[in-house]
Amino acid sequence: ARASRGQHPQAAMAAAAVLTSAAGVVALLDEPAPQLKVHALRSLDALVDRHWAEISAAVTAIEALYEDDEFEERELAALVASKVFYHLGEMDDSMQYALGAGGLFDPTSSSEYAQTIMAKMIDTYIAARNASEPVEVDPKLVEIVERMLERSMVDGRTEHTIGMALEMQRLDKLEEAVRRSDDSAASLAYAVRVTHKLVTSKKFRLETLRKIVSLYEAVPHPDYIAVCEILMFLDDPGKVADVLVGLIKEGGDKLLMAYQICFDLFENQRQRFLLDVSAKLPATKDPKKPDGKPKAEAEGDAAAEGVKPEGGDATAEGGDDAMETDAAE
């Protein structure tokens, strides 16, 4: 232990690999000099996975260092305590000290300890976010969860991020994941599938689908067929009518898409919804009759106004000529 007092943390870890006991390092926790305590904690952090049983006897002293506001390496003490409690099977205590470790706890680490405690944190956060009554969430827990989500987005794990965001009821993170993805349309399609499959709260499911519709509208080439399917689920015939009118005005392929949407709506056999959509569509006039009236009705109006129907003058003139001929004879 005396030979390693001035070592760099990496050298301490190398030395830890050949130590057969942690007793000497644990004894340094009783030294009055803060530098020795810091050195002891760094060494214990490297030893804890193999010598946690010995170190657990000093966990009270380690906790005391974390609670000492004047101790400069409180986060390191919290990390060591967290690992000790993890090996003892005390997951709640381990998670709390991991939260106290701040940036020293790496939620993206592949170690069994980090993965287990991160899973515990996520479950705790999800439970709090999905509680029927508002629950105050530890800001440190929120920070670590958001660090994990950020790392997931940086790594390009968009679908994983979307799934976690939905479980956590974080629509802001859902939106961020979609906007930062390489293929927004595919990400939104995945979000729709997961929403129907994973989200059990009806209220949150409807909020999520409305958010997805708004995100669809923001992409360069929206999938209007998917949008209208969602709007039908949301029972929003007015919005469907608006989409159809917009597609018809654009014409071309968009007109064909409007027809496809209509066929899809018909196949769903929701008569009331179809009638509601139809009622929301603007009225159209027959292009051959600008006034929109049937032919019989139009001719009746013309007769009432003393206007001769088409072909009437020719007939009348023909009749006069015939009469004049008969009189001449």
Note the pLDDT tens digit of each residue in 57-79.
Answer: 999 999 999 999 999 999 999 99
Q: Per the confidence metrics, is the pTM higher than 0.85?
A: no
CA 192 to chain centre: 10
Q: What is the pLDDT of residue 95?
A: 97
Structure token digits, residue 190:
């995945």
Separation CA 270–CA 247 (nearest Å): 22
Look up residue 136 and give its amino acid: E
Note the pLDDT tens digit of each residue in 204-223.
Answer: 999 999 999 999 988 888 89
Q: Which residue, 41, 141, 45, 147, is CA-closest to 99?
A: 141
Q: What is the pLDDT of residue 75?
A: 97
Separation CA 209–CA 150 (nearest Å): 23
Look up residue 164 and give its amino acid: M
> Are residues 65 and 71 in contact, defined by beta-carbon separation less than 8 angstroms?
yes
**C-alpha neighbours within 13 Å on the C-beta side of residue 132:** 0
Structure token digits, residue 167:
């479980």
Look at residue 1 and tell me whether its pLDDT is greater than 50: no
> Are residues 95 and 117 in contact, defined by beta-carbon separation less than 8 angstroms?
yes
Note the pLDDT tens digit of each residue in 107-120.
Answer: 888 999 999 999 99
> Are residues 117 and 86 in contact, defined by beta-carbon separation less than 8 angstroms?
yes
What kind and span of H or E run contains 82? helix 74-88
| Helices 34-56 + 9-16 axis angle, to 10 | 30
User: What value does the mean pLDDT of the chain take?
Assistant: 84
Q: Which residue, 90, 63, 68, is CA-closest to 79?
A: 63
